[in-house]
Amino acid sequence: MPTGNDRACVSLVELDRFCREVLLACGADAAMADAATRAMMHGTRHGVDSHGVRLLDHYVTALEGGRLNKAPKLKPVGGFGAVETLDADHAHGALATYTAMDRAIALARQFGIGAVAIRNSSHFGPAGAYALEAARQGVIGFTFCNSDSFVRLHEGASRFHGTNPIAVGVPVKGQDPWLLDMATSAIPYNRVLLYRSMGTTLPQSVASDVSGIDTLDANKADMLAPLGGEFGFKGAGLAGLAEILSAVVTGMSLSFDLAPMGGPDFSTPRGLGAFVFAILPEAFGDRETFDAGMTRYLDVLRSSPARADCRVMAPGDREWVVAADREASGVTLDPATHAAFEVLAGRYGAQLPVLEMPAQSQVDGT
């Protein structure tokens, strides 16, 4: 497998196969290997590379160290009517959250709305994967999670919130869903790690050094800025919303009380919380009116005037373009992920992904 500056592509099919083989070989049960791979492949397929297959090595470390339960027994531990609480038994976060969203969808079909609080989970990767799952099934899906502190407050100079993602998926008749998937930090921390791997300069006003001063050097980034730049109080407020639903409502740890995702302790479960809910559109009116409204909204949005050399897009439009490109042309992996795959293949006897021809150009998915 190439290293350094080689730019060979790998097909999505091969990446999916490799991730499953490695996870199963390191002892994850079938349900966990499937869920973790689905979530990582959502990230890689749609250009969320910071939360894609580059996380495989981290998840293996967490599984082998004992942080993740290799054969968890997920179970409901409370709730009534349209509300439930799920204990994930320290499963991989993807298994916990797909399970919770499936249950929220079922509750929404019964009651019009369904909400599931998740306890004792772990890192779940791209929040959009679970919101999209709801939208693909015809309901509006919301996903929230907190994470260990890495984001300063507006005008703050120390870590407080996690990147605390919020994702929403809305079904659109005959089209891909409207999909919002955002960290409440200026960028996700995994994006900083990706930039380090690629030797890329950070954008302006997204990360700070140990003193809270903005930096463009990914190697000096000690904390992230909240979303919003000079108006970062908005991002900090949204992070607080994710914090309340994910940690306060579930009874799990607040961001500043969580063990760091990156270790060094990989033997102790982190006990993350998360929160999902689903809304059945026709519970509030007829489906035809909802479908017509979403179609009208997106038609006008996409045809609205754009600035010179720009294009107006709805949330999710970039992801569908990237996904189509990568389905056809494969994915160029960053050097650190290449190297990690080689080590994992040797350790677990898995066949490395078969390489395709070097890419001439790909839609930017960093």
Quote the CA–CA distance of 73 and 97 in Å, as a whole number: 14
Cβ neighbourhood burial of 211 (10 Å; 0-12, 13-18, 19+)? exposed
Low-confidence ranges of the chain (pLDDT < 70): 1-8, 357-366
* Residue from 63, 43, 41, 142 nearest 100 by CA: 142
Other beta carbons within 10 angstroms of residue 338's beta carbon come to 21
SS3 76: strand
**pLDDT attached to residue 7:** 55
Please, which residues have CB within 8 angstroms of residue 252's CB and are 6 or more apart in sequence? 119, 120, 246, 271, 272, 273
* Backbone φ, ψ for residue 9 (5° rounding): -100, 155
* Residue from 83, 88, 114, 86 nearest 36 by CA: 88
Q: Which domains are assigned to the chain?
A: 74-286+316-329 (3.30.1370.60)
What's the pTM?
0.92
Quote the CA–CA distance of 40 and 360 in Å, as a whole number: 24
> Which two three-digit tokens encode residue 212?
């809270």
**What's the mean pLDDT when you consider all of the chain?**
93
Answer for the pair 351, 21: CB distance below 8 angstroms, yes or no: yes
Quote the CA–CA distance of 55 and 231 in Å, as a whole number: 31
Tell me the CA distances in angstroms from 201 to 218, 284, 303, one per residue in order: 7, 47, 34
**pLDDT attached to residue 229:** 83
Quote the CA–CA distance of 200 and 189 in Å, as a whole number: 14
Other beta carbons within 10 angstroms of residue 221's beta carbon come to 24
Quote the CA–CA distance of 95 and 38 in Å, as a whole number: 10
Angle, nearest 10°, between helix axes 335-348 and 56-65?
40
Quote the CA–CA distance of 288 and 282 in Å, as a whole number: 9
Q: Which parts of the chain fold into alpha helices (H)?
A: 12-25, 30-45, 56-65, 93-111, 128-136, 189-198, 233-243, 287-303, 317-329, 335-348
